[in-house]
Amino acid sequence: MGPGPVTADPRVLRAMSAHLVGQFDPWMTDTMTETMGLYRDVFRTANEQTFLVDGTSRAGIEAALVSLVEPGDRVLVPVFGRFGHLLTEIAARCGAEVHTIEVPWGEVFAPEAVEDAVRAVRPKAVAVVQGDTSTTMCQPLADLGEICRRHDALLYCDATASLGGNDFEMDAWGLDVATAGLQKCLGGPSGSAPISIGDRAVAVIDARKHVEAGIRSDDDEDLGARIASNYLDLAQVMDYWGPRRLNHHTEATTMLYGARECARLLVEEGLDAAVARHARHGRAMLEGVRGLGLGVFGDVTHKMHNVVAVEIPDGVDGDKARTALLEDFGIEIGTSFGPLHGRVWRIGTMGYNARKDAVLVTLAALEQVLRGYGVPVTAGGGVGAAREVYA
Amino acid sequence: MGPGPVTADPRVLRAMSAHLVGQFDPWMTDTMTETMGLYRDVFRTANEQTFLVDGTSRAGIEAALVSLVEPGDRVLVPVFGRFGHLLTEIAARCGAEVHTIEVPWGEVFAPEAVEDAVRAVRPKAVAVVQGDTSTTMCQPLADLGEICRRHDALLYCDATASLGGNDFEMDAWGLDVATAGLQKCLGGPSGSAPISIGDRAVAVIDARKHVEAGIRSDDDEDLGARIASNYLDLAQVMDYWGPRRLNHHTEATTMLYGARECARLLVEEGLDAAVARHARHGRAMLEGVRGLGLGVFGDVTHKMHNVVAVEIPDGVDGDKARTALLEDFGIEIGTSFGPLHGRVWRIGTMGYNARKDAVLVTLAALEQVLRGYGVPVTAGGGVGAAREVYA
């Protein structure tokens, strides 16, 4: 019940024990193509270039940034938590001239603040996290695509922690590139990073295509500045997933099966229903911890549905309490980073864990652990408040 | 029965359907530590820094090179097939000044040729493939570590296609860094890249450590030129697998389970026994295709045990014959790259496919397919010759 990775859906784990086939077996390439279509539904996009990067969610982030950004390009990162800092780090390693704006942890940006910064910096790309689990905040994105288009900037979004559990509209919001991971609301294990790339970004990336030594043909000409990574070179990865099927990495078959099943689960449920489920169980957990008498960190009107930051009561050693919850009740919750380390616990309700029984058991166990530390919790207050949400 | 990825061992697939736990759960970190120990046995090394890179085998290659090599460093690559070209490509993208020596496809290098080039180039690192599946050749490595030490160069080896099926001695041969993948002789799916790093290389990598923004503490000082990748920054990945357990990527739990099971299978069997098994079934396949009257490409005294390149007989469309083998018999074999495309098929006997029944069924089916093309095959000649090897 932490901020992710969380318990995977048993259907996903079962899918991952299926037999392998060769990477160019027609069934394999059909499965790759099917998976592209499923993730178009998940990202709510018509982008042809929607596929998987073979690595954890940060491999997807780095693939996006290293393929979009050339050394010396300006990148603007609105930072509202630890994962905004990660975007600055990755962009800087790509050679970008990184500019940031910041709000205090627990807040999000108004669109006007982002536009002011875009106007001042004139970046090639804006890179923003949607849901930053370190603060639990969910940045509104609906206006940012239009802002970036107005100022001729590309908009990249890291939706790792939010996708599937919070509203996300790739095309309606005008996002150019978005990446995610399986280990949050998608109900799978980390190790595969779904990505979607719109036409404006595809043009930028393909303008730097260099087919690698060893497989290039005489027709392959070198374009623009070569992308600094081979593994995360999206120009080549698009040729591997596309009709040319140009050999690149060997697709991670078992992770593909897992990613496909994660998307199938969401598409079967319906994306709106999945978001509503996360909203419902997230609300129950929020009211539940409040019902125990605990404070909640941050501007909850902008809280992600799938995680809540709970203030650790005075006199409680946060890490010891987490250990007690794990050892005695088998339930894991998270700590946080930077300014919130030791100040909050992060409790998730996402993917397969966005379930009533998971919420109620967690609240019941947390009450017992807190009582053991002498915290004056309201007996039954957590489960009771959550039940009222469910009623 | 191609050159990999191949059928995974059912035990590995079963292990990959196990439940997930949180990334800092004590059982999870114990499992990571256990996996480090298992891969020390597989690589035959005492290197503390032996772990997994979360991506396919080329993620491991790129992690090694981007972490070792700084822009402007000289790297020497002895190229004897497609995957040597890949090393030049990746090293060049890391900013290296890449020097190559080449032998014709189907041959390997004498140690003297490598030493002459090292003497002339004076590289920071020599990067060499052990087994290049594109040609089936296995480069002898036993003398290269000593040569590199003599000339103060690091030695990196891509053992993706060879490890577990051919002799490999990380420490005895003086290799500084080696990487692999699961999808060849290790009997698993692609998506995880085992790596081992010796002390000389660890010192070079740690001299460039920059703990990332968002989690760095006041005690973390920046050292040397920052590694150009964040995802594949081995200085940080070592801190994630090591006692500091510094947050980095979220370890791909299911791939970890798979990688652990691959190593367990090899360690239970014994590395020497696994290599002998690959030698035996590889010999049976070699004699089998010869018994069908087919030619074999390359210097078979230096052939990897786990793959053979079979010359496509005159009058046979190699790709159509492969399709017939797949569609009618459910058996996949490979084509090749570059100068060998359309000239040879590559047939593997590796991992779970290094089995007598797999060898005999493949030879029996290949005979039928060839006969359909009017090739004058010796009836029963393939299976018969393989049986003689087994007898």
What token pair was written down for A297? 């960190």
CA A190 to chain centre: 11
Residue B127 pairs in a beta bridge with: B156
In this predicted structure, the answer to whether residue B27 has a pLDDT above a threshold of 90 is yes
Contacts of A9 (CB under 8 A, 6+ apart): A187, A188, A261, A262, A265, A351, A352
- Cβ of residue B350 closer than 8 Å to a chain A Cβ: no
Of B178, B90, B187, B68, the residue nearest B130 (C-alpha): B178
Q: Do A190 and B232 touch (CB under 8 A)?
A: no
Chain A residues lying within 8 Å of B8, measured CB to CB: 19-20, 254
| Triad B19, B23, B24: Cα angle to 5° | 120
pLDDT at B336 > cutoff 90 = no
Q: What counts of helices (H) and strands (E) characterise chain B?
A: 13, 11
What is the pLDDT confidence band of residue B388, given thresholds at 50, 70 and 90? very high
Residues contributing to the annotated binding site of B for substrate:
346
At residue A369, the 3 state secondary structure works out as helix
pLDDT of A144: 98
Mean pLDDT calculated for residue range B218-236: 93
The answer to whether A85 touches A116, Cβ cutoff 8 Å, is no
> Which stretches within A69-123 are classed as H helix?
82-93, 111-121
- In the three-class reduction of DSSP (H, G, I as helix; E, B as strand; rest coil), residue A74 is classed as strand
Q: What is the pLDDT of residues B176-225, one digit of tens each?
A: 999 999 999 999 999 999 999 999 999 999 999 999 988 888 888 888 89
Judged by CB atoms closer than 8 Å, whether chains meet at B85 and A227 is answered as no
Is A23 close to B5, i.e. CB distance below 8 A? yes
Per CB-CB distance under 8 Å, the chain B contacts of A22 are: 2, 5-6, 332, 334
A200 and B CB contact within 8 Å: no
Burial A87-106 (b: 16+ CB within 10 A, else e): bbbbbbbbbbbbbbbebebb
pLDDT of residue A133: 96
Q: In the predicted model, what is the mean pLDDT of chain B?
A: 96
Query: Cβ of A367: how many Cβ atoms within 10 Å?
Result: 22
Q: How far apart are CA B3 and CA B204, in angstroms?
A: 34
- Residue B58 contacts A, CB cutoff 8 Å: yes
Partner-chain residue, chosen from A20, A85, A214, that has the shortest CB–CB distance to B85: A214
- Best of A231, A248, A256, A352 to disrupt the B interface (most B CBs within 10 Å) is A231
Q: What pairing do the DSSP bridges indicate for beta strands B344-348 and B307-311? A: antiparallel
pLDDT at B260: 98
Closest-CA residue of A relative to B191 is A252
How far is the alpha carbon of A391 from chain B, nearest alpha carbon, in Å? 31
Q: What confidence score (pLDDT) does residue B221 get?
A: 87
Q: Which residues of B touch A23 (CB under 8 A)?
A: 5
Report residue B364 as tokens.
């029996």
Chain A residues near residue B228 by CB distance under 8 angstroms: 93-95, 228
Q: How far is B280 from chain A (nearest CA, A)?
A: 24
What token pair was written down for A67? 């393929």
Cα torsion at B90, B95, B96, B101 (round to 10°)? 50
A22-27 long-range CB contacts below 8 Å, 24 or more apart? A22/B2, A22/B5, A22/B6, A22/B332, A22/B334, A23/A250, A23/A251, A23/A253, A23/B5, A24/A245, A25/B326, A25/B332
Q: What is the DSSP letter of A303?
A: B
Kindly report whether the peptide bond that precedes residue A5 is cis, defined as omega within 30 degrees of 0. Answer: yes
Cβ neighbours, 10 Å, residue B88: 21
Chain B CB contacts of A86 under 8 Å are 212-214, 230
Most B CBs within 10 A among A12, A218, A250, hence the mutation to make, goes to A250
Asked if pLDDT for residue B338 goes beyond 90, the answer is: no
Tokens matching residue A133: 């689990």
DSSP state of A282: H
Q: If we measure between CA atoms, which residue out of A165, A168, A177, A176 comes closest to residue A141?
A: A168
Question: How many interface pairs between A and B have CB atoms less than 8 angstroms apart?
Answer: 227
Taking the C-alpha atoms of residue B252 and residue A259, their distance in angstroms, rounded to an integer, is 13
Residue B83 touches chain A, beta carbons under 8 Å: yes
> Does the annotation list A40 as a binding residue?
no
**Which residue in A159, A102, A157, A97 sits closest to A128, CA to CA?**
A157
3-state secondary structure of A298: coil
User: Which residues of chain A make contact with B227, given a CB cutoff of 8 A?
Assistant: 93
Three-state DSSP at B125 gives strand
Domains by residue range for chain A, with CATH: 10-267 (3.40.640.10), 271-390 (3.90.1150.10)
**First CA to last CA distance, chain B:** 22
**Smallest Cα distance from A47 to chain B, Å:** 25
pLDDT at B339: 87
**pLDDT band at B50, cuts 50/70/90?**
very high
| pLDDT confidence band for B295 (50 / 70 / 90) | very high
Could you give the CA distance from residue A342 to residue B46 in angstroms, rounded to a whole number? 37
* Whole-angstrom distance, CA of residue B156 vs CA of residue B14: 33
Residue segments in chain A with a per-residue pLDDT below the cut of 50: none
Q: Return d(Cα A247, Cα A242) in angstroms, integer.
A: 11
In angstroms, rounded to a whole number, what is the distance separating the alpha carbons of residues B278 and B265?
A: 14
Q: Kindly list the distances between the CA atom of residue A183 and the CA atoms of A3, A348, B128, in Å, as whole numbers in the listed order.
A: 9, 12, 36
Q: Does the structure show a pLDDT above 90 at B76?
A: yes
Q: Could you give the angle at the alpha carbon of B342 between the alpha carbons of B340 and B344, nearest 5°? A: 60
Amino acid of residue A134: S
Judging contacts by C-beta atoms under 8 Å, the chain B residues touching residue A88 are 213
Omega prior to A3 cis, within 30 of 0: no
A100 in B contact zone (CB under 8 Å): no
Is the C-alpha dihedral spanning A357, A362, A367, A368 positive or negative?
Answer: positive
Instruction: Point out the residue among A23, A191, A232 whose CB comes nearest to the CB of B254.
Output: A191
Any idea what DSSP says for residue B296? B
Which pLDDT does position A221 carry in this prediction? 87
Long-range contacts (CB closer than 8 Å, 24 or more residues apart) made by B379-386: B381/B291, B381/B292, B381/B293, B382/B288, B382/B289, B382/B291, B382/B292, B383/B288, B383/B291, B384/B291, B385/B287, B385/B288, B385/B290, B385/B291, B385/B292, B386/B284, B386/B285, B386/B287, B386/B288, B386/B291, B386/B359, B386/B360
Longest dimension (CA), chain A: 75
